[in-house]
Structure formats: C-alpha cells, structure tokens
Amino acid sequence: MGTSGPGLWSTFLYYFTSSSLIAVFAITQGLHTESDPSLHFYPYIGGLVFGLLAGSTGAYFNRHISITINSKKPHRLEQHLIKQLIQNSYQLVGELEGFTIYQRPNLSGVFSGKLFYQLNENNVIISGRATQVKALRNYLNPKVETDLR
C-alpha cells in the first residue's frame, strides 16, 4: 500500500532520539557538569527519562495507522467521511494509487498530516496519523450501524 507511513517503532525512535539529545544538552548547560565530574551522569539519565516519555507519547499520537471499516453501503460512508473531513478543515489534495488524499491547509497541515482513504466494494480504508484516524473511526462507526438498518 502506498500510504504507509512511519509505524510505532520508527516514530518512537524519532521522538526518543531527538528529545534525549535536546534534554542532555539542556541539562548539561543548566548544571554546568563540565566543572564537576560527579554530575557527569545526570544529563544522560535525565535525557533517557525524557526521551522515553517523549518517545512513548509521540509514538502513541503520531504513528501512522490504517483501518478498514466494512459497510454494505460504502458510498454513503464515503459521504459521511468527506463531510467530517470538510468540517475538520481538510481539503482535497489529490489521489495516489487509488487513495484519495486530504490535508489541512497551511501550518495546521504540517501538524495533522495527510489522511488517505480508499473506497472499495464493501469497505473504506482510512490511513493517517493515529489520532485523526481514531477520531474518524469513532465518528463513522455509528454511521455504519445506521446504514445497516
């Protein structure tokens, strides 16, 4: 699938590494550890703890996931999906390998990322950042049950 993004481990590693380095640098500057050798390990311990927290948080919220929502009427589900995307300020960007791409404009698009969806015969596949995809799933699941009646 052409819409796969960074998964759990690569997202964790990105946030862990960058946050650890920043924390080690900030703690080193704040404690002036170069003048006192007994404080030498504190920046690394602080960086490790901060990196684990930031890595876990970043991986939970920003990893890329895909979900499939089954529906007997996927075109109606697509209408609900597009309505929700427009209400959340997403705009149509284009298509890629059968997936329709939506993204928020300007700076908000950088932080929320792109959302991809593909309409199939009996389902809709939605792919994007975990927080956005889960919110869409929670919005669309009651719509699916309504369409089944």
Per-residue pLDDT of 40-96, as tens digits, reads 788 889 999 999 999 999 888 888 889 998 888 888 989 999 999 999 899 999 998
Identify the residue whose tokens are 């309409």.
119
pLDDT band at 5 (very low <50, low <70, confident <90, very high): low
Q: CA-to-CA distance for 61 and 85, rounded, in angstroms? A: 19
Under a CB-based contact definition with an 8 Å cutoff, are residues 52 and 25 in contact? Answer: no
Mean pLDDT of the 115-126 span: 92
Task: Say how many Å lie between the first and final Cα of the chain, rounded.
Answer: 32
0.95 cut: is pTM over it? no
Report helix, strand or coil for 64: strand
Burial of 13 (0-12, 13-18, 19+ CB in 10 A): middle
DSSP-assigned states of every residue in 125-143: EEEEEHHHHHHHHHHHHHH
HEC-encoded secondary structure of 82-123: HHHHHHCCCEEEEEECCEEEEECCHHHHHHHCEEEEEECCCE
**Phi and psi based region of residue 69 (left: phi greater than 0; alpha: psi -120 to 50; beta: remaining):** beta
Give all domains of the chain, ordered by start, each with its CATH number.
8-61 (no CATH), 64-147 (3.30.310)
